[in-house]
Amino acid sequence: MIFEDLPTTPTSEELIDKAFSRAARAGKAKGGLEAQQSMLQTAANIISDNLENVVTAWPDFEYDAHPFYYELADAIVDVDELRQSLSEVMWASRKAREIHEEYQPRLRKTDVDTARKHRKQAFARLADIVEQIDAHLLRINEARNDLRDLPDIDPDEPTIVVAGYPNVGKSSLVNDVTSARGETASYPFTTKGIGVGHFERDHIRYQIVDTPGLLDRPPEERNEIESQAVSAIEHLADCMLVLVDPSGECGYPIESQLELRDAIADRFDSVPVLTVANKTDREEVWNADLEGMDADLEMSVETDENVTGVLDAAVDAVDYEPELPFEE
């Protein structure tokens, strides 16, 4: 995942401490003017290099982040604000180099006391620059902590997204079809772990993603962050399975479940949306008017009835054409 390996960002205090203590050590190894020059060079380099590294560790949101991750990231941290902070840090990095260049000549061809006075002045200015970006460093580190936990999903794999009210059987389905068990990912804004499963058809790997806390209730109940996460899912989904439980065992009347289905179909109008009636093993479902619900498919995950049929339909709907390496 693109934000997984971001390093921690130092605080301004940590960076100043590090720069000045290394500088002191560098100074001790030498004497006279050389000691002052070496101290300045060490402090300025550590500051400008560390700050530059803070910035370059980040991917370019526009070019390197898949729209899915871009939108998810933007739901959690304001990307424009983050960019602003990164550019302030870059400014400070350049400024540290400038201070080095400005003071370096003053530490030559002079007496040691004067040189020490200039070097101290340079240190004060370096510290001042780093303190000025204190809030930006903190914000960048917070963003890093928030984004590190985004779900590990491959946005380029053909993906089936499973939606529906709580308790309709979403997780049961994802767990049932997925080859390797126990894969879960988390969105930082829901407490529920989301299941991410994989299965293969004709040597193509399909990803199947659970959406508890996101696509499990009416749109008007979503907060702003959740709504934006739903937009992100639009970039991810190649097919949407809306599970309904006509038995009502899930605790939600079928009318509400169908309203959610309609809202999802409206929202994801560029994605094939299939309505799947689950729990056909339950007696209440036998007499239910599945046609009246516009159910495309029925299944029981519990008794493994037609789960394969549902996957087949989803794979058909995804209609994925692998890119062949030698095709022009």
Ligand X SMILES: Nc1nc2c(ncn2[C@@H]2O[C@H](COP(=O)(O)OP(=O)(O)OP(=O)(O)O)[C@@H](O)[C@H]2O)c(=O)[nH]1
Q: What is the token pair recorded at 167?
A: 């308790």
CB of 188 to ligand X, least distance (A): 18
Please, which residue, 158 or 212, has the CB nearer to ligand X?
Answer: 212
- Rounded to the nearest 10 degrees, the angle between the axes of helix 79-103 and helix 134-148 is 140
Question: Is 59 or 248 the residue whose CB approaches ligand X more closely?
Answer: 248
- What residues between 164 and 203 interact with ligand X by CB under 6 A? 164, 166-172
Going residue by residue from 297 to 326, which x/- string records binding to ligand X, judged by CB under 6 A? ---xxx------------------------
Q: In 3-state terms, what secondary structure has residue 152?
A: coil
Name residues contacting Mg ion, limited to 185-244 (CB under 5 A).
212
From residue 85, give the alpha-carbon distance in Å to each of 12, 80, 180, 212: 14, 9, 40, 33
Amino acid making up residue 44 = A
For 113, list phi and psi in degrees, rounded to 5: -60, -45
Q: Where are the beta strands (DSSP E) in the chain?
A: 159-163, 184-186, 193-201, 204-210, 239-244, 273-277, 297-298
* Cβ distance to ligand X smaller for residue 7 or 251: 251
Shortest spacing between CB 165 and ligand X, in angstroms? 7
Structure tokens given for 141: 């580190």
SS3 (DSSP) at 300: strand
CB of 244 to Mg ion, least distance (A): 15
CA distance 83 to 280: 51
Residue number, 152 or 319, with CB nearest to Mg ion: 152
**Cβ closer to ligand X: 119 or 170?**
170
Residue 14, contacted partner among ligand X, Mg ion, none, CB below 5-8 A by kind: none
Decide: is 295 part of the binding site for ligand X (CB under 6 A): no
If binding means CB under 5 A, how many residues of this protein chain bind Mg ion?
A: 2
Binding site for ligand X (CB under 6 A): 164, 166-172, 212, 216, 278-279, 281-282, 300-302
